[in-house]
Structure 1
Amino acid sequence: MEDYNKQEVKGGQGQVVEPETYRDSIGTMEQSGKRKWVFPKKPKGRYTNYRNIVAYALLTFYFTLPFITINGNPALQLNIISRQVFIAGQPFYPQDFFILTIGAIVSLICIIIFTIAFGRIFCGWICPQTIFLENVFRKIEYAIEGDRNKQMKLDRQEWNSEKIWKRGLKWSIYIILSLIFTHFMFMYVVGYKEVFRILLEGPFEHPTNFIVMILLTAAFYFVFAWFREQVCTLVCPYGRLQGVLIDKETINVFYDFNRGENRAKWRKGEDRSAAGKGDCIDCYQCVVVCPTGIDIRDGQQLECVNCTACIDACDEVMDKVGLPKGLIRYASEKEIETGIPSKFNSRMKGFTILLVGLQLLLGYLVYSRADMEAKFIKPAGSTFFLREGKIINTYNYTFLNKTNDKKIVNIRILEPQNGEITYSTSSKITVARDKIVKGTINISFPEKQIKLSKQNIKIGVYDHEGNLLDTYDTYFEGPFKIQF
């Protein structure tokens, strides 16, 4: 297959590009460096139907999730600037940064492992870039300008009334859609109520927000109206990573060159096997439907996003000429070379188990997160004082309630024993859900019990049922004593 990947057969005429010049530029660019615009034919078939179902389900999820709350909190909100992060309704704070960091690392490892085992299925089925482009913007383009041939004709013709109104209508809809998508994206940052409030109050009340909104809308429009597949080939690092992640056992969209070569045009009634011809009839349907403009028959390429459009196109042609389907299919390179079908082997089982294990680890970290975070800090410049044979220190406490329930807490001295607490207010401190409460307490110990000028103590915070919520280690100041 290595030798085959270095050549390109054109139109069944046997024209072969020299190995030194084969694919020394991306498929959507001329040798001169000029952009080669892709006009993919509208795909149809089994996999296209499945992908449409997945895409529309994800789009529905995207548009409804900002309005979903769990225990009164947003289901998902990522306001890093204001430090308001909610995932599955659970609030996360700067103190939980290590969990989010571990979560990001685990997610990256999962993507790497998934790619090693199952290739770029994510790109073709789940990636927002693919879903927005193929299932929203491209659909509108087909509806206004028509399929591939009509789009190419429109692109070549002069700017007459037909071209002006079609392009103008398409671009206007693109701008409106970009605005809508950008506003929903903002809802994931500040929440839908805040977005609606900013819109009602207008740009003069929130100039910064509106400038950012306009810039992001322009970027959104630029990506899906013009840049398009270049995001996958030039910007996205995931496509570049596949070169070092996949191997011969990775499942990807492959062309069965053993079965397809030698490719030749279809002749009715011909015994292709006797004539030494393969099943590929060189119809180029796999090429014209490709949204990144590549020929899958040239082997695995970084531009391929595994969208399955070529599979559906090839299967349709094979069905029409009476040849078996699956000339292009999901397979591993090893399967193509040996002819032995891929199975859910021990390697894939191992990767799947590892994926599940990593997700369980992340779930455990989130589940085991403390419900309450407590801190007891001595005020700057403060020192101890003596009263009635006791040494007294003042502490400022901060309680952060990480749960969705109100907490009534009290404080106890765990180590050493015999410590007493004097509250500035009530001994029962109420901490509302997702709130921070601050206050001051005095902690005292008998003078004889404090042996060091700075003695370690441990303070515990309990709920009204007596459950330990959090502990905090700090120090207690006392008079300087010479130890003999």
Structure 2
Amino acid sequence: MNTELNVTTPADDYFRSHLPNQNENGGRQWLYPRATSGRFTKWRTVVAVGLLVALFVGPFIWVDGHPLFLFNVLERRFIFFGVTFWPQDFYLVAIGLITFIVFITLFTVVFGRVFCGWACPQTIFMEMVFRKVETWIEGDYNARKRLDAAPWTTEKILKKTAKHGAFFLVSFAISNTFLVYIIGRDQWSTLITDNPAQHLAGLTTILVFTGVFYGVFAYLREIVCTTICPYGRLQSVLLDKNSLIVAYDYIRGEPRGKRVKNEELKVKNNSTTLHSSLLTHHLPKGDCVDCKLCVHVCPTGIDIRNGTQMECINCTACMDACDEVMSKIDRPSGLIRMDSQQGIDTRKPFRFTKRIMAYSGVLVLLLGVLGFLLISRPALDVTILRAPGQLFQREANGQVANLYSVELINKTYRALPVRFRLNRPDATLRFVQPLSQTQPGELTQTMFFITLPEKAIHADKTRLTIDVLTGDTVVDQVETSFLGPISMGERMKE
């Protein structure tokens, strides 16, 4: 970079010792973000609408008589995209969580905090739902500011009552939606249509979560993003100079100041016109006109011109606001853009680093392992254990019996026929209660005896293999031990 330009970042570091929503007295300064328009805002709206529709419709979509999604913590039953997971599938959940963490890490390393600004439920509900309701009832950012500063009048009381009433209703809808994800559509329908006295616990839960959501979106707001959410601090660890972030081009923008539209100044260096990205640095003022629109539209109240900050959620609102100003003064767009710090400093395009490739390799490996385990997961999960406290029983005709307990989990959405086959022709299996099939999505428990001729027993423990079949297909093989008496002669042989 040409050292004669002598361009530096702003010297004011007040933002480093104060939160963006903190006033000079240390109290909270209420933020009134200005509405934006532009291509990024339009795309954010499309993404938000799609995610909101998916969220509210998701728990009511059923496939083959089962919900598409269910997170029933109470019954330890989880359904993802129609696939049921039981406690026995915890290893899959663990690998899935590790894969998700690696994905979030990779995504943050490459794209910074874009998830927060474009897909996080907190941002989507705040900016695309509650902020819209607030604007519809109270007016734009200036009207809201004047209303809060005005004394309490009938108009103010009516508007505030209407706004907070709408906030509570939206929070109630969100609370019910999350409850449907937990207990399922049918139980939720019973809860809201039956006598309230029969479901006090459920209704109390709905009201508690409604109050939580209402408090978050009516009062906490940006504090969730700047203080409560740990992802912002995780971002500080994961970002590097090659990560794509919402960045202010201080080389092109400084020094700040008002410009005259269609101003034409030519600067030549040894009869060669400088590159357009460097031309303005030889001018008295840079491209930034110091209009502060980027600050006014920021939902967390930061000044992006101060550089990368933890509070930035990469919502791109400042990019739309700045591009609109640049078009009015006939300057190129992108003074604030998605770029890396390295790209701002060197004017080089984004490139994949060894760090990104390493994370990508680990992610691909984990996805491969998870995919293989999901595909090879048996339709029937079987657990066979010897009955506790039981050794063996002598029966007639020189037979010895052992008692076993068995648990079967049908992980499919259809009834499965089931039968058991022993690997020894002289062994027989006899159920305490007949079992011929398992019901879909249910846990079946029963017990059976295995008998062996006493003369065929030559050790304290005899290893047995039990094949579990549905039809003619072996879906599982279970190893177990058979306890039996052993004579002194047999012991001497050993």
Give the TM-score of the pair, scaled to structure 2.
Answer: 0.90
Equivalent residues in 2 for 1:119-138 (5 A)? 119-138=112-131
Find out whether 1:65 has 2:58 as its counterpart.
yes
Q: Which amino acid aligns with 1:215?
A: V
Match of 1:359 among 355, 367, 371: 367
Q: Secondary structure at the match of 2:193?
A: helix
CA offset at residue 375 of structure 1?
2.1
Aligned residue for 1:35? 28
Aligned residue for 2:483? 477
Find out whether 1:380 has 2:382 as its counterpart.
no
Q: Which amino acid aligns with 2:220?
A: F
Q: 1:475 to 1:219 in 2, by over 3 A?
A: same
Structure 1 range deviating more: 299-308 or 85-94:
85-94
Cα pair 1:117 1:351 within 8 Å, conserved = no
Q: 1:5 to 1:199 in 2, by over 3 A?
A: farther
Find out whether 1:331 has 2:339 as its counterpart.
yes
CA offset at residue 97 of structure 1?
1.4
Deviations 1:356-375 (A, max 9, x none): 44333323222222211112
Match of 2:326 among 310, 318, 328: 318
Cα pair 2:111 2:245 within 8 Å, conserved = yes
Equivalent residues in 2 for 1:233-248 (5 A)? 233-248=226-241
Aligned residue for 1:394? 403
Distance in 1 (alpha carbons) for counterparts of 2:162 and 2:331? 43
Deviations 1:51-77 (A, max 9, x none): 000000000101111111122221111
Structure 1 range deviating more: 53-62 or 395-404:
395-404
Q: Secondary structure at the match of 1:23?
A: helix
Distance in 1 (alpha carbons) for counterparts of 2:462 and 2:24? 75
Q: Secondary structure at the match of 1:319?
A: helix
Match of 1:435 among 424, 429, 442: 442
Equivalent residues in 2 for 1:82-231 (5 A)? 82-231=75-224
Find out whether 1:455 has 2:455 as its counterpart.
no
Distance in 2 (alpha carbons) for counterparts of 1:231 and 1:22? 19
Q: 1:66 to 1:26 in 2, by over 3 A?
A: same
Structure 1 range deviating more: 380-389 or 94-103:
380-389
Cα pair 1:413 1:419 within 8 Å, conserved = yes
Aligned residue for 1:412? 421
Distance in 1 (alpha carbons) for counterparts of 2:212 and 2:79? 26
Q: Which amino acid aligns with 2:324?
A: E
CA offset at residue 450 of structure 1?
1.4
Quote the RMSD (CA, aligned, Å): 2.0
Q: Which runs of 5 or more residues in structure 2 are unaligned?
A: 2-6, 266-279
Q: Secondary structure at the match of 2:16?
A: coil
Cα pair 1:73 1:89 within 8 Å, conserved = yes
Distance in 1 (alpha carbons) for counterparts of 2:138 and 2:350? 41
Aligned residue for 2:274? none
Distance in 1 (alpha carbons) for counterparts of 2:110 and 2:301? 25
Aligned residue for 2:276? none
Distance in 2 (alpha carbons) for counterparts of 1:333 and 1:481? 81
Q: Secondary structure at the match of 1:206?
A: helix
Cα pair 2:247 2:339 within 8 Å, conserved = yes
Q: Secondary structure at the match of 1:140?
A: helix
Cα pair 2:109 2:356 within 8 Å, conserved = no
CA offset at residue 142 of structure 1?
1.3
Distance in 1 (alpha carbons) for counterparts of 2:122 and 2:190? 29
Aligned residue for 2:257? 264
CA offset at residue 343 of structure 1?
4.5
Deviations 1:11-57 (A, max 9, x none): xxxxxx5xxx5511221112432011110000110000000000000
Aligned residue for 1:301? 309
Distance in 2 (alpha carbons) for counterparts of 1:104 and 1:345? 25
Aligned residue for 1:445? 452
CA offset at residue 220 of structure 1?
0.2
Q: How many residues end up aligned between the 2 structures? A: 469
Distance in 2 (alpha carbons) for counterparts of 1:356 and 1:329? 30
Q: Which runs of 5 or more residues in structure 1 are unaligned?
A: 9-16
Cα pair 2:95 2:366 within 8 Å, conserved = no
CA offset at residue 345 of structure 1?
6.7
Q: Which amino acid aligns with 1:396?
A: S
Give the TM-score of the pair, scaled to structure 1.
Answer: 0.92
Find out whether 1:292 has 2:285 as its counterpart.
no
Q: 1:228 to 1:5 in 2, by over 3 A?
A: farther
Q: 1:246 to 1:183 in 2, by over 3 A?
A: same
Distance in 1 (alpha carbons) for counterparts of 2:219 and 2:235? 25
Aligned residue for 2:379? 371
Aligned residue for 2:277? none
Q: Secondary structure at the match of 2:466?
A: strand
CA offset at residue 187 of structure 1?
0.4
Cα pair 1:452 1:481 within 8 Å, conserved = no
Q: 1:432 to 1:22 in 2, by over 3 A?
A: closer
CA offset at residue 305 of structure 1?
0.3
